[in-house]
C-alpha cells in the first residue's frame, strides 16, 4: 500500500476542472476556497459599509432612505461576522493545521467539503434578499446583526425567515468545521508532537473549535425560537403570550459573547506565530499563552450580560457581569506582555506580516482599553448603543482580527504559492490600511462620547465634523484593499521564488515542506523531537 502511495506523490497528481473544486477533499484547495470566499464577501460587506459612510458623510438624508439604511447596517454586520472573519479563519485553519501537525489532511475531508459549500448557499440567500429589496420587492433583514426580538419576530419583514434559514446553514457549516478541527488535532498529530509541543496557532484553533461547538447550537436554538414565534404560534419572546423579549437577549448573547472570542482567538495564534519569526526569538511564555487562551475561552461564557446593562437588570446582576468581564483583562494582558517580551531584545525586521502583527498589538490593545471602559456598568449607561461601542468593536475586529488575517496571508502566501509577494506593494497596502483605519474609527470614540447613538442614518449637527473625517477614512480604507487583491493575484501568478523556509526566523513543520507545499503533504508523518 505504501509503495503505491509513494508513487502517487512523486506525480503530485491533482484533479482538474470544475470537479477539482466542487468535489475537493483536499485541505489546501478547501482552504483556498474559504479564503477566496471570505475575500469576496469582504468586498461586498465593504461596499455596504461605504454606502453607509457615504450617507453619514453629512447630516441630512442624501443617498438612501432610513429603512434601507437599516438593511445596510444589518447586512454589513452579518456579512463581516459570518461571511468574512469566520470563513477566513477557517480557511487559514484548513491550510495550516494539517501541515503544522505533520498530518496529510484534515480528519474528515469529505465533511470539510460540505462545510465549505454550505456557505455560498447561505450567503446567496442572504444577498438575494438585499437584491430583492433594491428591486422593491420587500425589505431585507433590517434589525441589526443582533436581531433583537420583537423587532425581528413580530415586526420582521418576510425575508427574516430566509435569514433564519441562512443562519442555520452557516451554523451547521461552522459546527462541522469545528468537529473536523478537533478530530484533526486530537488524532492526527505526528508522533512526538505532544499537546504542549503544538504550534500556538494550533492551540488557539483547538480552543476556538470547542467554543464553536458549545455556542453555535445555542444560536441555532435562538433562531429556531424566532422561527416558531413568527410562524408556528409560539411566544418565546412575545410578552402577549407570556414570553419575554429580554430573554432573547440572554440567549443571543450567551452565543454572542463567546462568538466574539471565536473571532479573535485564532488571531492571537497568528500573531504568536509571526512575532517570534520576525524577532528571531522563541515565543515568550508558550505555556502561559496556552493557559491564557483557555482562560479567556472559559471566561467568555460568564460575561454575556455586559451587553444588557440597560435592560433593567438588578444591581447584583450588573455587578457580577462587570466583575467577570473585568477579569478577562488579565489573561489578555498576559498575552500582550508576552508578545512584547518576544520582541524585546530580538533582532527585528519589518516585513509586511510583521507590520500587520505589530499594528495588531497596538490597535487591538486600544480596543481592549475601550472594552474595559465599556464593562464598567455605571459608565456604560452613557456608552451603550452609541458610537463608542462601534469604535470599540471595529478596533478589535478590523485592526484586530482583520489585520491578523492580512498578516497571515502575507506570512504564508509564499509557502502556499511558492512565490514571494511584492514587498513594496505589501508595505504600501499596510500603511494605507493602517492609517485610514484609524482615521475611520478613532473619531467614532469622540462622537459616541458626545452623544451620538448607533444605527442612525442621520445625526445632529454637532457630530458632523468627525463623521466627515470617518467617511473619508472609510473610502481610503476600502479602496486600499484593492491593492491587497492585486498583490495576492500577482503572487499566485508568479514572482521571486520562495525558499522552503521562506523567512529567516521561521519555525514549524510547514516550513520543512517545499514551497509551494505539495498537493499532498506529510503523507508519511515526520518525526517530532
Partner 1 sequence: MSVQPDNQTTENPKIIGKLLIVVVAMFGFGFALVPLYDVFCDITGLNGKTGDKVNFSTAPTVDESRIVKITFLASLNESMPWEFKPQQSFIEVHPGKPTTISYIAKNISNKNIVGNAVPSVSPGLAAAYFQKTECFCFTQQELKAGEEKIMPVTFIVDSELSEDINEIALSYTFFTSKQNNEDLADNTLTAKSINTFK
Partner 2 sequence: MRAVTRPLGLVCLLLASSPTLAEYQLNLEPGVTVTSQNAYDIHQIVMWICVVIGIVVYGVMTYSILTHTKAKGHKPATFDDNLTIEILWTVIPILILIGMAIPATSALLAMEDVSDSDMSIKVTGYQWKWHYDYVGEDVSFFSNLSTPMDQIKNKEAKTENYLLEVDNTIVIPTGKKVRFLFTSNDVIHAWWVPAFGVKKDAIPGYINESWARVDEPGIYRGQCAELCGANHGFMPIVVEAKSEEDYLAWLSEKKTAQAAANESGNKTWTMDELMAHGESAYITSCAACHQAGGEGLPGAFPGLKGSPIAIGDIAKHIEVVVKGVEGTGMQAFGPQLNDADLAAIITYERNAWGNNTGDMVQPSDVKAAR
Tell me which residues are annotated as active site. Answer: 76, 105, 145, 173-174, 257, 259, 261, 272, 306-307, 332, 335, 454
Nearer to partner 1, 111 or 373 (CB): 111
Kindly state whether residue 65 participates in binding partner 2, applying the rule CB under 8 A: yes
Judged by CB under 8 A, which of 186, 239, 431, 482 binds partner 2? Answer: 239
**Helices 329-343, 265-279: inter-axial angle, 10-degree rounding:** 20
Among the residue ranges 181-189, 250-258, 264-272, 457-465, the one whose residues contact partner 2 (CB under 8 A): 457-465
3-state secondary structure 194-206: CHHHCCHHHHHHH
* Maximum C-alpha span of the chain: 75
Look at residue 383 and give its three-state secondary structure.
helix
How does DSSP classify residue 511? Answer: G
Shortest distance (Å) from residue 99 CB to partner 2:
23
Look at residue 183 and give its three-state secondary structure.
helix
Shortest distance (Å) from residue 380 CB to partner 2:
9
Judged by CB under 8 A, which of 92, 175, 218, 283 binds partner 2? Answer: 283
Residue with cell 482615521: 439
Residue 36 binds which entry of partner 2, partner 1, none, with Cβ cut-offs from 5 to 8 Å by kind? none
Mask for 386-425, x = binds partner 2 (CB under 8 A): x---------------------------------------
Shortest distance (Å) from residue 73 CB to partner 2:
8
Nearer to partner 1, 216 or 322 (CB): 216
Residue 247 binds which entry of partner 2, partner 1, none, with Cβ cut-offs from 5 to 8 Å by kind? partner 1
Residue 251 binds which entry of partner 2, partner 1, none, with Cβ cut-offs from 5 to 8 Å by kind? partner 1
CA angle at residue 480 from 474 to 484, to 5 degrees? Answer: 135
Judged by CB under 8 A, which of 9, 168, 455, 501 binds partner 2? Answer: 455
Residue with cell 499594528: 359
Residue 330 binds which entry of partner 1, partner 2, none, with Cβ cut-offs from 5 to 8 Å by kind? partner 2
Residues 6+ apart with CB under 8 A from 296: 261, 265, 328, 331, 332
Among the residue ranges 252-260, 332-340, 419-427, 493-501, the one whose residues contact partner 2 (CB under 8 A): 332-340
Residues 6+ apart with CB under 8 A from 119: 34, 37, 83, 87, 169, 170, 173
Q: How many Cβ atoms from other residues are within 10 Å of residue 494's Cβ? A: 10
Residue 217 binds which entry of partner 2, partner 1, none, with Cβ cut-offs from 5 to 8 Å by kind? partner 1
Nearer to partner 2, 186 or 330 (CB): 330
- Report how far residue 74's alpha carbon sits from residue 69's, in angstroms, rounded to the nearest whole number: 9
Considering only residues 174-233, where is the footprint of partner 2 by CB under 8 A?
none
Nearer to partner 2, 104 or 400 (CB): 400
Look at residue 61 and give its three-state secondary structure.
coil
Do residues 297 and 211 touch, judged by C-beta distance below 8 A? Answer: yes
Look at residue 386 and give its three-state secondary structure.
strand
Kindly state whether residue 334 participates in binding partner 2, applying the rule CB under 8 A: yes
Judged by CB under 8 A, which of 172, 183, 214, 372 binds partner 2? Answer: 372
Nearer to partner 2, 259 or 318 (CB): 318
Residues 6+ apart with CB under 8 A from 4: none
E strands within 97-210? Answer: none
Applying CB under 8 A, the residues found at the interface with partner 1 are: 5, 8, 25-26, 104-105, 107-109, 175, 178-179, 182-183, 186-188, 213-222, 225, 233, 235-236, 239-242, 244, 246-247, 250-251, 254-255, 312-314, 316-317, 520, 523-525
Nearer to partner 2, 50 or 376 (CB): 376
Judged by CB under 8 A, which of 50, 128, 179, 246 binds partner 2? Answer: 246
Kindly state whether residue 360 participates in binding partner 2, applying the rule CB under 8 A: no
Kindly state whether residue 127 participates in binding partner 2, applying the rule CB under 8 A: no
Nearer to partner 2, 43 or 148 (CB): 148
Residue 285 binds which entry of partner 1, partner 2, none, with Cβ cut-offs from 5 to 8 Å by kind? partner 2
3-state secondary structure 233-268: CCCCCCHHHCCCHHHHHHHHHHHHHHHHHHCCHHHH
Nearer to partner 2, 228 or 349 (CB): 349
Rounded to the nearest 5°, which phi and psi values hold at 466?
Answer: -65, -30
Mask for 471-510, x = binds partner 2 (CB under 8 A): -x--------------------------------------
CA angle at residue 20 from 18 to 24, to 5 degrees? Answer: 130
Judged by CB under 8 A, which of 138, 191, 494, 514 binds partner 2? Answer: 138
Beta bridge partners of 386: 453
- Report how far residue 132's alpha carbon sits from residue 128's, in angstroms, rounded to the nearest whole number: 6
Residue 158 binds which entry of partner 2, partner 1, none, with Cβ cut-offs from 5 to 8 Å by kind? none
Q: Which string of b and e fits 199-229 if b means at least 16 CB within 10 Å?
A: bbbbbbbbbbbbbbebbbebbbebbebbbeb
**Is the omega angle on the peptide bond into residue 269 within 30 degrees of 0, that is, cis?**
no
Amino acid at each position: 500500500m505504501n509503495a503505491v502511495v509513494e508513487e502517487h506523490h512523486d506525480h503530485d497528481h491533482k484533479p482538474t476542472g470544475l470537479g477539482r473544486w466542487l468535489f475537493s477533499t483536499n485541505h489546501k484547495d478547501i482552504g483556498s476556497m474559504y479564503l477566496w470566499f471570505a475575500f469576496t464577501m469582504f468586498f461586498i460587506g465593504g461596499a455596504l459599509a461605504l454606502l453607509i459612510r457615504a450617507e453619514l458623510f453629512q447630516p441630512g438624508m442624501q443617498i438612501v432612505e432610513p429603512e434601507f439604511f437599516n438593511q445596510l447596517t444589518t447586512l454589513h454586520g452579518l456579512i463581516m461576522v459570518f461571511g468574512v472573519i469566520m470563513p477566513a479563519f477557517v480557511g487559514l485553519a484548513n491550510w495550516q493545521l494539517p501541515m503544522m501537525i505533520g498530518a496529510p489532511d484534515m480528519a474528515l475531508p469529505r465533511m470539510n467539503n460540505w462545510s465549505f459549500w454550505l456557505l455560498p448557499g447561505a450567503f446567496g440567500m442572504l444577498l438575494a434578499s438585499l437584491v430583492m429589496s433594491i428591486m422593491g420587492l420587500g425589505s431585507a433583514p433590517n434589525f441589526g446583526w443582533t436581531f433583537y426580538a420583537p423587532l425581528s419576530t413580530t415586526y420582521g419583514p418576510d425575508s427574516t425567515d430566509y435569514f433564519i434559514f441562512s443562519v442555520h446553514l452557516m451554523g451547521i457549516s461552522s459546527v462541522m468545521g469545528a468537529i473536523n478541527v478537533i478530530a484533526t488535532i486530537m488524532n492526527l498529530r505526528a508522533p512526538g508532537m505532544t499537546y504542549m509541543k503544538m504550534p500556538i496557532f494550533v492551540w488557539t484553533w483547538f480552543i476556538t473549535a470547542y467554543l464553536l461547538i458549545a455556542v453555535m447550537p445555542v444560536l441555532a436554538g435562538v433562531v429556531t425560537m424566532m422561527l416558531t414565534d413568527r410562524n408556528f404560534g409560539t411566544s418565546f419572546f412575545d410578552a402577549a403570550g407570556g414570553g419575554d423579549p429580554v430573554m432573547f437577549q440572554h440567549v443571543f448573547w450567551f452565543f454572542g459573547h463567546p462568538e466574539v472570542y471565536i473571532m479573535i482567538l485564532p488571531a492571537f495564534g497568528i500573531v504568536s506565530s509571526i512575532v517570534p519569526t520576525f524577532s528571531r526569538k522563541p515565543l515568550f511564555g508558550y505555556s502561559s499563552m496556552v493557559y491564557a487562551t483557555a482562560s479567556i475561552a472559559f471566561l467568555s461564557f460568564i460575561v454575556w450580560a455586559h451587553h444588557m446593562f440597560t435592560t433593567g437588570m438588578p444591581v447584583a446582576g450588573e455587578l457580577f457581569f462587570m466583575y467577570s468581564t473585568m477579569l478577562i483583562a488579565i489573561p489578555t494582558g498576559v498575552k500582550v506582555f508576552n508578545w512584547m517580551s518576544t520582541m524585546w531584545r530580538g533582532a527585528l525586521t519589518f516585513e509586511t506580516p510583521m507590520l500587520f502583527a505589530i499594528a495588531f498589538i497596538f490597535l487591538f490593545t486600544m480596543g481592549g482599553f475601550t472594552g474595559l471602559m465599556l464593562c464598567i456598568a455605571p459608565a456604560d449607561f452613557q456608552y451603550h448603543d452609541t458610537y463608542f461601542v462601534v469604535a470599540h468593536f471595529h478596533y478589535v475586529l478590523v485592526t484586530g482580527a482583520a489585520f491578523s488575517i492580512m498578516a497571515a496571508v502575507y506570512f504564508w502566501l509564499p509557502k502556499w504559492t511558492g512565490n514571494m509577494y511584492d514587498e513594496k506593494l505589501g508595505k504600501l497596502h499596510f500603511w494605507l490600511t493602517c492609517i485610514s483605519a484609524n482615521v475611520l474609527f478613532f473619531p467614532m470614540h469622540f462622537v459616541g462620547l458626545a452623544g451620538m447613538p448607533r444605527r442612525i442614518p442621520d445625526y445632529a449637527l454637532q457630530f458632523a465634523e468627525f463623521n466627515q473625517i470617518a467617511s473619508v477614512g472609510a473610502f481610503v480604507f476600502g479602496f486600499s484593499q484593492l491593492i491587497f487583491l492585486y498583490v495576492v493575484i500577482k503572487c499566485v501568478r508568479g514572482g521571486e521564488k520562495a525558499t522552503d523556509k521562506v523567512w529567516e526566523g521561521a519555525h514549524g513543520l510547514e516550513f520543512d515542506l517545499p514551497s509551494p507545499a505539495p498537493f499532498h503533504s506529510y503523507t508519511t508523518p515526520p518525526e517530532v523531537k
